[in-house]
Structure 1
Amino acid sequence: MKFKAFFLSLLAAWLAFVAPLSAHQYGGSLKVALFPEPPTLVAGLSGLGSASIVSSKIYEALVTYDFDLNPQPWLATSWETSKDGLVWTFNLAEDAKWHDGVPFTAADVVTSYEVFSVENDRLKLIAGKIAAVEAVGEHQVRFTLNEPIPSFIYMINYGNLPIIPAHLYAGGNYRDNPANATPIGTGAFKFADWEKGSYIHLVRFDDYRDGSEPFLDDLYFVVIPDAQGVAVAFEEGSVDVVSASNLEGFDVSRLAGLDGVESTKHGWEMLAPHGFLWVNTQKPPLDSVELRQALNYALDKAFIRDVVFNGLATPPRGAFDSRTKFFDPSVNDYAYDPEKARKLVAASGYDGTVLKLSTAPVGSAWARLAEYEVQAWKEVGINVELDNNDVGGYLKKLGDRSYDLGNIYLYQYGDPSVGVTRNFYSFNDVAGSPWNNVGRYLNADLDAILGKADSVTDADERAALYAQAQQIIGNDAVQVWTAELEFPTLYRSKVRNLIATALGLSDSFAGVWIKQ
């Protein structure tokens, strides 16, 4: 009897283990609404979220992250660190292949680091702290640091260090490489075709790992340039998945309530999209801290939350998102106070110069936000006009620094040293990029505080330093903060395991399946 009970317990455990796997079904196409259309599908060439949503199916990174931001295996199967934190060794997948059939090796990781330590603004910030990246075996790579980097495991996220093939990119110009015409990755899906203005088509990579994934036959990313069109397409079933970032806020709750539709707020834990305006702080009259403070006080953040984003936002308190580590809730939130804004405008010596608010056509909510901002600032005596651009033109103006004010949201990547401090280092004001210190804020004291905060390993000391930095950034009104954004994902109930990590729609989709 004891043996029988033991056997039955083993059988029950085995069934519990295999049941989830056996429940997965192969086949089917998944259609995802996409906007704006990305300029490229090659990993790391565009900072647009839409580019990441597509390219993360083609390419992979060393690690991904669960909803609690714990690192999880992706191309790296395991890793260990030395006691002093200066050596990180990653053991790599031995069964991974590139889509052209070439085996994946440690050399690909080395080449990827060599490329993106130059090309990626965030990774570039820590390149000087990394002594060497070397292959120490065909499937093992070692990062040796000059000093501890407490956020290192977050620094190698997909947005910073996607892995690209050494046999196509070693020793060449990355941005002008002929290989960019046909993206080749190790991901669960490979590039099939791209009908510009219509759709991007990816198909199952049959040689992905051991062949058990992916479950889907193919993916279609359907380009729909307006929120109304996205809503109609989802409601009528033309697409299966849509992010609230591509919908009108009032449509989110309506569509989520339809039969056969589910929604989730998971999948943004790592990215924490944070809305604000770049302010060209070196350009008069915006070099006046009083005027920048007035711009902040003039905006009703509750109105922005409730009316502009239909409740899918949280009023921010400065540069750090409340979902990001070391957020300090004591920072001035610039509560709506138009009278104080008027007094600050007068104190600034502002002479009525017309300021330009640069915008891009990335959704009606952002158009409403810009229109509201212009009116709110007019009411406190600041003259602002809209400067409408296409996406490319808008990003070029930011890169060229030929703008006054510009709405944007950026990802914070869990740790401030990855996604926040890059926006404020004086030395990171590098013309040509729309993703670094675009505000051109120069403060040597802040540089020193941030540099230390980004490097010390003691969590309490980091917290104190980041709190000090947040107070400086807030008091100087370096930016105009608008919203901590929430983008629920809506999807058909037949779609299973869609949002599985903290990267949400920017993860691999290897485990996504459709119930037939």
Structure 2
Amino acid sequence: MMLKKTLIAAALALLASTGMAMAARTDIRIGLVLEPTALDPTTAAGAATKEVTYLNIFEGLTQIDQNGAVQPLLATSWTISPDNTVFTFKLAPDVKFHDGTPFTADDVKFTFDRLLAPDSTNSQKQLYVDAIDTVTVIDPTTVEFKLKAPSGNFLFDIGRGAAVIVSPKSEATNATRPIGTGPFRFVQWDKGSRVVLERNPGYWGKAPALEKATFVFIGDPATAVSALLAGDVDGFNNFAAPEAVDIFKANPAFTVAVGTTEGETILATNNKRKPFDDLKVRQAIAHAINRQELIEGAGHGFGVPIGSHFAPAHPYYIDLTNTYPFDPAAGKKLLAEAGYPDGFSTTIKLPPVPYARLGGQILAQQLAAIGIKAQLINVEWAQWLTDVYTNHDFDLTVISHVEPFDIGIYANPNYYFGYDDPEFQAIIAKLNATTDEAQRKDLAQQAQKRLADQAVNGFLFELAQVGVWNSKVEGYWLNAPIEGVVLKGIHWVD
């Protein structure tokens, strides 16, 4: 009898352990190239913050889905006045922030009043300042926005990571201890290493499959490869070592998922600094650029050439890559006409992402061919944000702008490019105030042409999203219509 009981107990233990082994995992470790400088997307610039927080910790009134379409979120529905200037939103009831504070229309008003304030540091502030006149609380679940003019972008813009809703109770500490309404809540940030999130048990929407998510910061390509192969991370949405993709394509334990992004990779130019304030100098630089060489060398074959600041996947896109075709002789001639027959010396500040560091080396060689001697200066991400983005202390830099439909940044003369062109600003003002689709497309194409003609920046290529994942992970976004590694659809399969 004792032997029988022992065998039964052993069998039950074996069944239990087998069941546990077969159960799908509920945790995930995701590699990211850049570490955020802060965790509040309404104050911190840079995609790294939104990669961790967008639709995970924080939510907006609307959301952008993986197809780039606007969907309801904290606002479950809305009405629009006949003249397209008044938007009235009905809010989801019984929503709470992670600290238990109820979400109401007062939080919406607080969020946007804070965003519009003169001392706001929101990276997309100008979008909202130009559009919004007043925000009025009608009742706890109803809020009204009055716009300064009709807007074809408004519902999309309030779905950006820069416009997520924050609570006045926690906004002061969101940079290090973020509190939102999303499906995941913040647990810890080990700076230089990782950010840990866990499933929000009180989430108002559909509960995600994952119980825990850890974002691991790995900027070094070789370390990224090793981490995947060793199982230290379960995937990268944007792999740090595209040159090693073939290793993973040949391994059935992994899935390589190549999609599109909104990332215009550019040789950003300080248009307010000599000699780059001279159109002929910028045109010369444009003629020096061999885009295909950059795609092969810096993107390892992943990427699409661009001739202006616009994503090729967008229906408004036009191919302007031949505005200034690769022609070093033409570049030398233009430099001579600008008063630099022997060229000049400059610097290129490079943030710590592979496409920038590799791209900078290639661009330095291409510029040297027309007489421009470029010193490469490697900077860390926080330093890039301070020196280049905030203080405009740079000549040239290489960066991908991954925000969607962001051509309007060129209408802000105080943006770090320093591009101040009334003609372009007028085009964007019309675009923002237009709701007719055909007219919007025409204006967007006018804007693209103006930037291309003015050679405002060196327009290089559209960054691909090259994801490498454990083959048992599903539900990640193939494409990146907006900045973010959206966790709520990710799950493991047996």
Q: Same fold (TM over 0.5)?
A: yes
| Aligned residues of 1:499 and 1:505 also touching (Cα < 8 A) | no
The aligned counterpart of 2:383 is 393
Q: How many residue pairs get matched?
A: 466
SS in structure 2 of the partner of residue 119 of structure 1: coil
Which runs of structure 2 are paired with 1:368-383 in the superposition (5 Å)? Answer: 368-383=358-373
Correspondence for 1:129 among 123, 131, 140: 131
The aligned counterpart of 1:240 is 234
| Aligned residues of 1:108 and 1:164 also touching (Cα < 8 A) | yes
Correspondence for 2:180 among 170, 175, 185: 185
- 1:493 paired with 2:457, answer no
Correspondence for 2:397 among 406, 424, 436: 406
Equivalent AA in structure 2 for residue 47 of structure 1 = A
Structure 1 residues 27 and 95, CA gap change in structure 2 (3 angstroms): farther
**Residues in 2 aligned to 1:508 and 1:407: alpha-carbon distance in whole angstroms:** 26
| Aligned residues of 1:26 and 1:217 also touching (Cα < 8 A) | no
Structure 1 residues 510 and 471, CA gap change in structure 2 (3 angstroms): closer
The Cα shift of 1:26 comes to 7.5
| Aligned residues of 2:39 and 2:174 also touching (Cα < 8 A) | no
**Residues in 2 aligned to 1:467 and 1:474: alpha-carbon distance in whole angstroms:** 11
Which runs of structure 2 are paired with 1:23-42 in the superposition (5 Å)? Answer: 28-42=26-40
The aligned counterpart of 1:163 is 165
The aligned counterpart of 1:356 is 347
| Aligned residues of 1:89 and 1:142 also touching (Cα < 8 A) | yes
Q: After TM superposition, which residue ranges in structure 1, 4 or more long, deviate above 6 angstroms?
A: none
The Cα shift of 1:508 comes to 4.2
**Residues in 2 aligned to 1:318 and 1:505: alpha-carbon distance in whole angstroms:** 20
Structure 2 portions without partners, runs of 5+ = 1-22
| Aligned residues of 1:26 and 1:216 also touching (Cα < 8 A) | no
Structure 1 residues 404 and 179, CA gap change in structure 2 (3 angstroms): closer
For structure 1, which segment, 478-487 or 76-85, has the greater mean C-alpha deviation from structure 2 after superposition?
76-85
The aligned counterpart of 1:278 is 268
| Aligned residues of 1:107 and 1:166 also touching (Cα < 8 A) | no
For structure 1, which segment, 127-136 or 96-105, has the greater mean C-alpha deviation from structure 2 after superposition?
127-136
The aligned counterpart of 1:114 is 113
Structure 1 residues 478 and 382, CA gap change in structure 2 (3 angstroms): same
| Aligned residues of 2:258 and 2:478 also touching (Cα < 8 A) | no
TM-score, normalising length: structure 1? 0.85
The aligned counterpart of 1:255 is 248
TM-score, normalising length: structure 2? 0.88
The Cα shift of 1:253 comes to 3.5
**Residues in 2 aligned to 1:500 and 1:84: alpha-carbon distance in whole angstroms:** 37
Structure 1 portions without partners, runs of 5+ = 1-24, 170-176, 431-436
- 1:50 paired with 2:48, answer yes
SS in structure 2 of the partner of residue 284 of structure 1: coil
The aligned counterpart of 1:173 is none
The aligned counterpart of 1:93 is 92
| Aligned residues of 1:357 and 1:405 also touching (Cα < 8 A) | yes
Correspondence for 1:443 among 410, 414, 421: 421
| Aligned residues of 2:127 and 2:157 also touching (Cα < 8 A) | no
The Cα shift of 1:272 comes to 0.9
Post-superposition CA distance 1:251-304 (Å, at most 9, x none): 1233244213223345x5xx5110102211222111221111111111111111
Structure 1 residues 213 and 252, CA gap change in structure 2 (3 angstroms): same
Identical residues among aligned pairs (%): 27
| Aligned residues of 2:40 and 2:174 also touching (Cα < 8 A) | no
Structure 1 residues 392 and 505, CA gap change in structure 2 (3 angstroms): closer
CA RMSD of aligned residues (A): 2.2
**Residues in 2 aligned to 1:194 and 1:135: alpha-carbon distance in whole angstroms:** 35
The aligned counterpart of 1:479 is 457
The Cα shift of 1:32 comes to 0.3
Correspondence for 1:206 among 186, 201, 204: 201
- 1:509 paired with 2:493, answer no
